[in-house]
Amino acid sequence: MTKFLKVSHLAGVATAALSLAAFQPAFAQTGPNDDPQSVSRTGNDTRTATDSSDVVVINGITYRDRTEDTAPVLVYDTDYFQRFEPLTAGDALKRVPSVTFLSDVLESDGVRLRGLDPAYTQILINGEEVPGAGSSSGAIGNGADTAFFVDRIPAELIEKVEIVRSASANRSGDAMAGALNIVLKDGYAIEGGYVRLGALAFDDGRVRESVGAVWGGKIGEGRLLLGASVQGRHNPKRKTSLRYDDVGEDLNNSEVQRDTRDGTDYSANFSWDTPVGENGEFTLDGFYVKTERLQDEDSIEYGGDGQALADIDVVNSNDVDIDQESFSLNGGYKLEAFGGKTSFKLGYASFKDDS
């Protein structure tokens, strides 16, 4: 019995060796100029074999819109935003990853980065700091007093948006969450002009206007850009709350809330660039934003299961009349001499709140 098992084992090994030898592939040398061969199939159907040398493999990860600086800057230009047809800079930034807003529903004013309040997000216009809008505009949370509300800037004035999502020692404490730079169009961004006319219709029958115009061209030896916009706003919200003591019990009380924010934003900007001498350049730019808005917020609480006049328990009225102006003017001079560059900058910014 033992002898028979040994013979069978040796025969099995020999058979496996013969099988491997029979299926071992054979390699033939090919020349460098061999072309793909046609493989014939049934009928007239012919397919071409693809040479493996045509396959391209890219080593490394490619990041979109990221600079090579020490603190990477994410850049989003008009090609990215125009797909969403935004009306304001706030509407555009809602499409940017990691950017959120600390405001009411359908509002996009105080920017938050990395989940921190607006106090820790630095807002720049053309690389310059701008004063905030203040808590009287309706924003809530830490930093509302110093936050600049980006929904005041019309989208057609934006050239690109730069975002730094990290803190750095070369920035102030209001940039702990990061910095956001809104670069407005200058005299070199456009040749000619365009006018935008539109209207927004709402379910409550209100219709608001949306008008904008931009022109850019050559003036003397320099370039000039002018832009203006009038944006009507209407944000109606309705809420009804039904309160019960427990599941299956009768209605205890109810509340009807109405919050309507109606207003108009006016904005204008300009940019002038002109050469000075052979190696110098003078720039002057500015923007102006005015907001007029009425926030009408009312709340009526009813006792019991009815909503008649006799059932009213509490009436709340929180109306806010907003009148704000932001203004910025910046000038600069650049000179290339002695193998280097010398630049001078002077700017002024103000914020006025008559709310």
Cα 267 from Cα 210, distance rounded (Å)? 12
Establish if 283 belongs to a structural domain. Answer: yes
Would you say residue 62 lies in a domain? no
**What is the end-to-end Cα distance of the chain in Å, rounded?**
107
For residue 79, the SS3 value is helix
Could you tell me where the DSSP H helices lie in the chain?
Answer: 2-22, 78-81, 89-93
- How far apart (Å, rounded) are the C-alpha atoms in residues 349 and 355? 19
Q: What is the CATH number of the domain that holds 296?
A: 2.170.130.10
What is the distance of C-alpha 28 from the center of its chain?
A: 58
Residue 178 lies in a domain: yes
Average pLDDT over residues 249-275: 89
pLDDT confidence of residue 236: 86
Is the model's pLDDT at 282 over the cut of 90?
A: yes
What would you report as the CA-atom Rg of the chain, rounded to the nearest whole angstrom? 33
> How far is the C-alpha of 241 from the C-alpha of 237, rounded, in Å?
13
Residue 15 lies inside a defined structural domain of this protein: no
Residue 245 is predicted with a pLDDT of: 84
Q: What residues make up the domain containing 154?
A: 74-353
Calculate mean pLDDT across residues 13-30. 46
Per-residue pLDDT at 123: 80
Does residue 135 sit within a domain? yes
Domain-located, residue 48: no
Q: What is the mean pLDDT of residues 196-213?
A: 88
Residue 137, in any domain of the structure = yes
As given in the structure block, the two tokens for residue 291 are 């907001």
pLDDT tens-digit map of 104-118 = 666 677 777 777 777
Lowest mean pLDDT among 48-52, 204-208, 257-261, 293-297: 48-52
* DSSP state letter for 205: S
Percent of the chain with pLDDT over 90: 7
**Residue 71's pLDDT band (cuts 50, 70, 90):** low
Most confident listed range (9-18, 183-192, 217-226)? 217-226
Predicted confidence (pLDDT) per residue in 226-245, tens digit: 989 998 888 888 889 988 88
Which residues are paired to 116 by β-bridges? none
- The total of structural domains in the chain comes to 1
- pTM score of the predicted model: 0.65
21 located within any domain? no
Q: What is the rounded distance in angstroms from the CA atom of residue 326 to the CA atom of residue 147?
A: 12
207-219 β-sheet, strand order: 192-201, 207-219, 222-244, 251-276, 280-303, 312-337, 340-353
